[in-house]
Structure formats: C-alpha cells, structure tokens
Structure 1
Amino acid sequence: MPCPLLQLPNELLHHIITILAPEPPSLSQLYLTPNLHLVRSKQDQNLKHLALTSSQFLDLVRPILFSHACLELKDEPDFRTFLVRSNLNRYVTSLVAISPPTPVYPDDPSWWRRVLRYLDPNRITLLAPPVFIGETLNASVQGGFNWAFEIDLQILQLERDTCPPRDLSSLQNLEYCTNLLTARPWTSMTFNESSSLKAYHHYEYFLGRVPSFVGEWGFHLQPPAHSPDADPDPPALPDLTTILETFISFSYIAVFPFFNHMELMLNTISKMANLHQLTIQLAPDVNNHATELEQRGSLDPNDPWMELERWHIDQHPSIVEFRSRDLHVEAVREDLIRVLQDNMGNNWTFDGSGTWRRNLPPVK
C-alpha cells in the first residue's frame, strides 16, 4: 500500500520539507571560537533520514539539503563535478569554504574564481587561517607575531541581498577579478577574528600586531600623522574605500583585542560610509571559560578586561542600529552601558538587552 503522504502534491510536500530544514550550524556557531566543527550539527538529521525513505523524497529533499553546501578547498574538483553532474549547483544559496591550518598541500587563495563560475550563493563563509583570508581579499596580513596570539583560524562571512535564481551558464568570468569582495555585490560582512587572550602572557603584549585583514585595512586607512618625526603615511590600498562603501551591515567578533587594534578596526569602520547596522563582540561567549584556563599561566587577569572597558565607538552618521554582544558579562555590564551611552549621546534609545537605535526624525 503506497504511503498516503506521498500522494500529496509535490508543492505541499516541498513546503513540509522546508519546515523540517534546520538552520545551518555555521550560523549558530558564527560568534564562537573559530574551529573545524563550524559545520557540524548537533540537531536531529530529519531531512537526511527522510531522504532515505523513498526515491521520491530523495528527489524532493536533495535540493534543500544542498542549499547550504560545505567545501573543503582541497576537494574542490570533486565537489564541482558532483554538484554540476547532479544539477544541484543551482540550489546552493550559501557556501562554507574551509582551508585547515596545516593542509597537506597549500590551498589556492583564488579558489573563489573557480567556484563562482558554477555557484551563485547569497552567502559565503570562509573558515581559514588569518594569512589565507588576507590573501583571499588581496590583503597582506602580517603574521610575524602570530606565535604569541596562536590564532589558527578566523571566520569571514559575506552576504548580499537575496537574489532570484539565474542561469548559471551566464555567470561572469572572474579571471581578472582580484578580490572576493568585488566578485559579488556583497552588502554584509561578519568577521570573527578569534581571541587575542594568549598574547597577554607576553611582556609588552600591547606592542604585538594582531594577524588580521581588518587591522591591515585600518593601518592603511589611518589618518595621516602630523608629527615631523612620524613614520611616512602607509600606502593606500587600491579601491579599498570604494569596496567598504558597499557594506550596510558589519559584525565584528574579537575576544579581548588590544586597545590599539580597536583603533585600527574603527579606522576601517569609518570608511563604511553607508553602514546602517554594527554589531560588536569583544568578550568570550557565555559558555567560554578560556579566561579561567589562561589564568593558570602568567596572565594578569585584569589586563584583558581593562582593554575591554576602554574601547569606544566613534560617532558614525549612517549607523542607525548598534548592538553589543558583551552585556552578558555582569562584571562589565554597567560600565560598558555607561561608556556606550556617554559616547553615543542622547540621540539613541537603548532597549536594555544590548541594542541601541538612533532616534530618527519622523518621515514627512
């Protein structure tokens, strides 16, 4: 006797299957310490189990399963062959690309040129070492002091407004495109820089330079020095300001960054002329006990918290929503709220949970 469920129209079955589809784990783990478990889900494997019940359900489930694809860059040729031959590449709306800290053979930082010839995702998440992410963005990340930070992986996520499916055979040839940022009209960026906590063990830790493309951008974008003894102005990165003006949303996660590094990050934000939403997280996640573990060494436990309380965000005329993800830390909550409110002025409304919204004049 045929299953009654299979007698329903495919449109209705598709709707039911969509409800069963969980959020990709890369979204829920985006604000945690970057690690290779980013794409592993602890949720029930409902869709995979359903796909095993019949060939009809397999045909209905596969496009939804592969809407969120994961690619280890070393496997890109096989990944491409499978998706294209199965005609599943047209369903991919988000992609997680992974380059491990110590690959057997170095991955190509221009991987996106090939991948975006047969995929057209609205979101790309790259999990990779700092230098590799920098190379992907055509930015030279200084890794000379990385031994102190021990940052193996960082996360870069780029999103654009949802676009309707299009003919993948007409995708642009990116042979002469030098930067992933210009390969698609991205409007949102999230960068998880990982933690600077281990560097606090070292004498004069604040002189170290975090391996980070955001820091490199900020260094090249910093205002010119007026002192006659100052170093020459760093050379400007071509088209960087134009690229930054395309972003309307930016989220920055960096556990216990140095104060001088935050200044570089703010230099970068200052060039995002059309930025509407800004989210910042500078403290460990609520379930992260890294601070307690590091106190077993030479770390002064007051140093990272002092740096956290000293940061501020400059006024930015285009921002209408600012969110701090650090208010779960009771020890700094009151001081952090006071610092932010003093800095932002009276033209903002605080919702009590970490979000400030600009009071805009009524539309006439």
Structure 2
Amino acid sequence: MSLLDLPNELISRIISFLDSPSPFDETVLHKPISWRNLKQPWQVDDPDHMPDGTPFWRDPLKQLSLTCHLVRSLTMPLLFKHAVLHPHRLTEFLAFLRDQTLTHHVSSIVADVPGIYNHLHPAWWARLLNEVPVTRFSIFAPPEVLAEMAGISADSADAWAFDMATQILRFDQTAEDARAQIDYDNLPNFLVARPWTNMTFNEGSSLLAYTTYEFFLRRTPSLLTALQSNHSAAGETLFANLLSFEFIAIFPFYNHIDEILKCVRRMKRLKRLFIKLCPEPDSTVLHDEIEQAGGHLDVNDPWNECETSWMLIAHTVVFLTMEGALEELHMDDVKVDGVRSTLENSLVARLQEWWAYHGDGSGVWRRKSLGLVASAPVAGQ
C-alpha cells in the first residue's frame, strides 16, 4: 500500500508530523534582522515552482507539496501556517490567501514595514486583521514607524548613536478576538485595535551607543519610552490588558531599563514577565559591533549596566508582587555562563521572601503563596 492509498485524514495526520514552529519565533531572541529582500511564496507566478531561500518555507513541507496535487492540497494549510508580509503588497497577499482557500489556516503573520511607508486610511494593519484571523501578529519596523503606528511622536534625537534600523513588536490575541471586525470609519489606535493579551518587544542592540561621549545620557529610541513620555492613553489601556510581557534587548543602559520598568509597573494584570538583556551565548554581536566601532568600547561598561538593571528588575517584581498579579519571572540571561551565578544570587537574595527559584540555571522564579506577602513593604516607591 502506498501513501496515496490511505484515507485523506490519515495522510493529513502523517503530514502534521512535519509541522514546526514559526522560524521567526525561533529567532526573536536575536538582534532584529529584516527579510525585506526575500521573495515570498504568494508572490510566485507559478505556485508549482517555488524557489528556495525564504525562511518561512519549511523544506520538508515544501518538498512534499511538490509531489502531487492531492498531497499539495493537504500540505498547503501547514505550509502557510506562518506567513511574512510586506504591507505594500497587502492586496496581492490577501488575494493569494483567498484564491488558495488559506485565509483561516494562517495563524501568525510577520509584517516587514519599511522606514518610509504610507499609513493612510484604511490602515494596512486594519485590513489585514479584518481579513486574516491570526492569533499572533508581529511587526519588523524602525522605531519611528512603530511610534507612528501607535499615534505618538518618537524621541529620535539620539537615534544616530544607536543605529537601530529595525525593532520587533509582537502581539498575541485569542482566536475569538481575532474574528472581531475593526471599523474603518472609526479606526482605533493600533495598540488597542485588539485586546492583545501578550506582548513581545525586541529593541535591538545599544552597543554602538557605548562608543559615544557620556553614553549614559543618550536616549534609546523605543516605543515603550515614547508611550511613557507621551502619556499615551492607548498605551495605558494596552498595559492594563496584558497578561504576558517579554522584553528583549542587547546591553541597554540601566537608566533606560528604569524607564521600561515604569511601563511594566502599569501592567497590573501581568502573569508572566520575561526579560533578556544579554546576547545569546552563541551570538557574535558583541565582537561584531566592537569591530564596527573600531574597538572604541570599554567592554566592562555594558556588563556593569546589566548588573544594575537586574536589581532594578527585582525591585519592580517586588512591586508587582504587592500591587499586581505577577506569578512568573523568567530572566533569560542565566544562559550566559559568565554572569549566571551573579544574576541568580542577586535576585534570589532580593526575592526569596516572596518568590521561589525554580532551579539552578533555569532563570525562572515563581511567586509563593499570596498570603505570605500581604503585609510586606512595597519596594521602589
């Protein structure tokens, strides 16, 4: 008996074993990159002849889809489960999904937005969210574009020092909320266009700014600090709804982390907080950016900023222990061998009264019984 002799349901089940997570989600912990120059599958004139090179095409599924029409029809929903979009080709993208009956099979989309883009009514993101009920929506864009989408002005005076060409903003929503329709004639702020429950923000690397005079006075181009300084009502609503928040950066300044944490303190419903301030252990970004800067960087400065930032994070966790609903803290920097012991010992010493460490090397702290913290003083106020 051959594969094609099996019932379609069994073939689909076999194909499902080739499914894999979004490649974007697997790289979100790294310095942001752009896939702007890569051709997407829905841009191919002949879908039966799909070229190599796009990270969102998982090779086993792609190769299987080329075997025959039956297997192709069963493979397509998984092959396009995770998609990447360039907004200027939105109409073509939506037409492709409709023609292939794939609209309701796409679960996550990454939008790669250029630095100069027309966001006139109707907003591209509103059209996309109305027609494709994704539960995860990610945006690659320069800091100023993210600020524009959020309806606020960006502080870009020191942007030249950081050279952050791209940052990542990722939101999650429930499947039920994904089916709600946005009113084009009463367009909401993007931040509250959906009741987003989870938010990930990858700010990128601050290393180049360490090469400038009095680097600690430089203001990092950041959506979160812009929301803070602009007293954004949409930002406040967003923060109030979040259940999970992930902040990723590479050696941010401790005074910038202090500003980020002011936003985190507004997330009173937050259940999980994930923070990463160091590069991945196998990353070459530190070497690469020191080389790019011509060696004009004291390597002690970034690590010192990190250590101070960890203590500020601990103070905010204690605050959310008293004033919020936080249940889990994940400090991803424990993956770096050289700082693991310092980070673990510092946070355990500060949090042990209210939080239990999950185990050496895990980077995970979980809140103890609520009754144990009822009468404790609030830190950091």
Range of TM-score over shorter length? 0.7 to 0.9
Q: Distance in 1 between matches of 2:99 and 2:183?
A: 20
Task: Tell me what 1:271 maps to.
Answer: 266
CA RMSD, aligned part only? 2.3
Q: Give a deviation string over 1:8-38, Cα, whole Å, max 9, x none.
A: 2222222221211121100100111100259
Distance between the aligned counterparts of 1:42 and 1:115, measured in 2? 18
- Contact preservation (8 Å) 2:192, 2:237: no
Q: Given that residues 192 and 234 in structure 2 are in contact (C-alpha distance below 8 angstroms), is that contact kept between their aligned partners in structure 1?
A: no
Q: Write out per-residue CA displacement over residues 238-278 of structure 1, whole angstroms, 9 at most, x where no aligned residue.
A: 24322211110000001111111111100000000100000
Q: Provide the C-alpha distance between the structure 2 equivalents of 1:177 and 1:8, rounded to a whole number of angstroms.
A: 49
Picking from 119, 126, 134, the partner of 1:108 is 119
Q: CA deviation at 1:90?
A: 1.9
Q: Is the 8 A contact 1:123 1:160 kept in 2?
A: yes
Query: Structure 1 residue 72: deviation in Å?
Result: 1.0
- Find the aligned partners of 2:227 and 2:182 in 1 and give their Cα distance: 27
CA shift for structure 1 position 108: 2.7
Residue 227 of structure 2 is aligned to residue 217 of structure 1: yes
Amino acid at match of 2:363: G
2:352 pairs with one of 332, 345, 352: 345
Query: Contact 2:81/2:106 (CA < 8 Å) preserved in 1?
Result: yes
Q: Which residue of 2 is the match for residue 22 of structure 1?
A: 20
CA separation in 1, counterparts of 2:10 and 2:183? 38
Measured in 1, the distance between the counterparts of 2:295 and 2:31 equals 20
Q: Contact 1:99–1:107 (CA<8 Å) still a contact in 2?
A: no
Question: Does 2:67 match 1:47?
Answer: no
Q: How does 1:190-205 map to 2 (within 5 A)?
A: 190-205=200-215
**Alignment partner, residue 161 of structure 2:** 148
Q: Is the 8 A contact 2:274 2:331 kept in 1?
A: yes
For 1:165 and 1:53, locate their aligned partners in 2 and report how far apart those are by CA, in whole Å.
34
Question: 1:73 touches 1:107 (CA, 8 Å); kept in 2?
Answer: no
Residue pair 2:274, 2:329 contacting (<8 A) in 1 also: yes
Q: How many residues align?
A: 339
Provide the C-alpha distance between the structure 2 equivalents of 1:329 and 1:52, rounded to a whole number of angstroms.
Answer: 42
**Contact between 2:196 and 2:238, CA under 8 Å: does it hold in 1?**
no
In structure 2, C-alpha distance between the alignment counterparts of 1:165 and 1:156, rounded to whole Å: 18
Amino acid across the alignment from 1:125:
S
Q: Please show how residues 99-138 of structure 1 align to structure 2 within 5 Å.
A: 99-101=113-115, 106-108=117-119, 110-138=123-151
Q: Quick check: 1:84–1:118 contact (8 Å CA) kept in 2?
A: no
Corresponding residue of 1:243: 238
Per the alignment, residue 182 of structure 1 pairs with 192
1:173 & 1:361 partners in 2: Cα distance? 42
Work out the CA distance in 2 between the residues paired with 1:107 and 1:344.
47
- Tell me the equivalent position of 2:337: 330
1:181-235 deviations in Å (ceiling 9; x for gaps): 2222210000000010100000011111111111112334xxxxxxxxxxxxxxx
> Is 1:208 aligned to residue 218 of structure 2?
yes
Residue 257 of structure 1 aligns with an amino acid whose one-letter code is: P
**Residue 62 of structure 1 aligns with which residue?**
76
Question: Unpaired segments of 5 or more residues in structure 1?
Answer: 221-235
Contact 2:112 2:140 in 1 (8 A): yes
Match of residue 173, structure 1, among 177, 183, 195: 183
1:97 CA drift (Å): 0.5
2:5 aligned partner = 7
**Matched-pair contact (CA < 8 Å) for 2:109–2:134:** yes
Distance in 2, matches of 1:139 and 1:337, equals: 38
- Could you tell me which residue of structure 2 aligns to residue 229 of structure 1? none
Tell me, yes or no, if the aligned pair for 1:158 and 1:188 is still in contact at 8 Å.
yes
- In structure 2, the residue matched to 1:158 is 171
Bigger share in helix: 2
> CA–CA distance in 1 between the matches of 2:297 and 2:72?
54
Change (3 A) 1:271 1:176: same
SS of 2:334 mapped into structure 1: coil
TM-score (norm 2): 0.83
Q: Do the aligned partners of 1:138 and 1:178 also contact (CA within 8 Å) in 2? A: no
- 2:363 maps to which of 325, 331, 354: 354
Aligned counterpart in structure 1 of residue 306 of structure 2, from 289, 305, 308: 308
Distance in 1 between the 2:199 and 2:61 partners?
29
User: Following the alignment from structure 1 to structure 2, what is the Cα–Cα distance between the partners of residues 179 and 338?
Assistant: 42
One-letter amino acid of the structure 2 residue matched with residue 130 of structure 1: P
SS in 2 for 1:156: strand
Aligned equivalent of 1:81, options 68, 83, 95: 95
State the distance in 2 between where 1:256 and 1:187 align: 27
1:256 and 1:309 map into 2 onto residues whose CA distance is 10
* CA contact 2:278–2:333 (8 Å) conserved in 1: yes
